[in-house]
Amino acid sequence: MDESTMDGAAWAALADITAMRRERFAVTASVFDREMPEETVRSMVEAACQMAGGLDDSAEGRLGAALAALACDDMTALATLTRTEYARLFIGPREVVAPLHESAWRSGTARMFTAETLAVRKFYESHGCILKAKNREPEDAIGTELEFMRNLCDGVLAVLGDDGTVSDCLVAEGLLRAQRTFAEQHLDRWAGRFAERVRESDRSGFYAAWAGYLDEVLAEDARLLQDSERLVRCEG
């Protein structure tokens, strides 16, 4: 196969889309992965307030508007409520309102390390991703699945930093295909229901805002993936 370079404009457009997708996955994963410290909640709301006049009609704009609406005189109380809600929604000790794990939504049981969890693990490992906490923490948590998508975006961006040969293109094509398959087989089968439950149940408004963002991001990502795959034309 001829190692001719790919179209530069398409390569640049793919880099822009992938960088945006990577950032979306990374920031949303961090929100649901663990409870937010007070300073993080405060800084997110304050940043949204500062941008309130320039928010556009995008997923980020709507997230910003929702976070800005949470501004209040007692931000410490808001942060405390946010921490309380993280425990009530996602951890317990009573019945968990919105389980963080795919297996809970797809198997109908509160047990962890089910067949769904093992299928996610197998997918990770087939793409060179082995968690340090393997066998101690289930791999199908929403934050971990989003981090995996971020990692695949990192792989695409690494390839895009090269010369754009057909070999590079084939690697990028394979990583994009892996993302589409993972979304179809895993994320898309439960994350929407998870987001809806959080929006309906969160009393702080903070996680409801982020759940709305997650829902929008995943819906839009299907289109962005299609656009990305069209930009990758591996022809020698």
pLDDT tops 70 at residue 166: no
Say if residues 75 and 211 touch (Cβ distance below 8 Å): no
* CB contact at 8 A, 211 and 195: yes
Domain assignment present for 24: yes
Q: Does residue 1 lie in a domain region?
A: no
In a domain, 114, yes or no: yes
What are the pLDDT digits (tens) for 177-217?
999 999 999 999 999 999 999 999 999 999 999 999 999 99
| DSSP state string for the chain | ---PBPPHHHHHHHHHHHHHHHHHHHHHHHHHHSPPPHHHHHHHHHHHHHTGGG--SSHHHHHHHHHHTT--S-HHHHHHHHHHHHIIIII-SS--SS-SBHHHHHHSSS-SS-HHHHHHHHHHHHTT---TTTTTS-TTBHHHHHHHHHHHHHHHHHHHTS--BHHHHHHHHHHHHHHHHHHHHTGGGTHHHHHHHHHHH-SSSHHHHHHHHHHHHHHHHHHHHHHHHHH-----
The predicted model scores a pTM of 0.91
Q: Please state the domain count of the chain.
A: 1
Radius of gyration of the chain measured on its C-alpha atoms: 19
DSSP string, 64-133: HHHHHTT--S-HHHHHHHHHHHHIIIII-SS--SS-SBHHHHHHSSS-SS-HHHHHHHHHHHHTT---TT
Asked whether residue 236 is assigned to any structural domain, the reply reads no
Residue 235 lies in a domain: no
Per residue in 64-117, pLDDT (tens digit) is 999 999 998 899 999 999 999 999 999 988 889 999 999 999 987 766 778 889
- Max CA distance (Å), the chain: 64
CB-based contact 139:112 (threshold 8 Å): no
Position 2 in a domain: no
CATH of the domain at 47: 1.10.3480
**Residue 3 within any structural domain of the chain:** no
pLDDT at 2: 44
Least confident of 10-24, 29-43, 48-62, 64-78: 48-62
Residue 17 lies in a domain: yes
Range of the domain at 103: 8-230
Q: How many CB atoms lie within 10 A of CB 226?
A: 12
Higher pLDDT, 113 or 153: 153
- Compute the average pLDDT of residues 25-47: 94
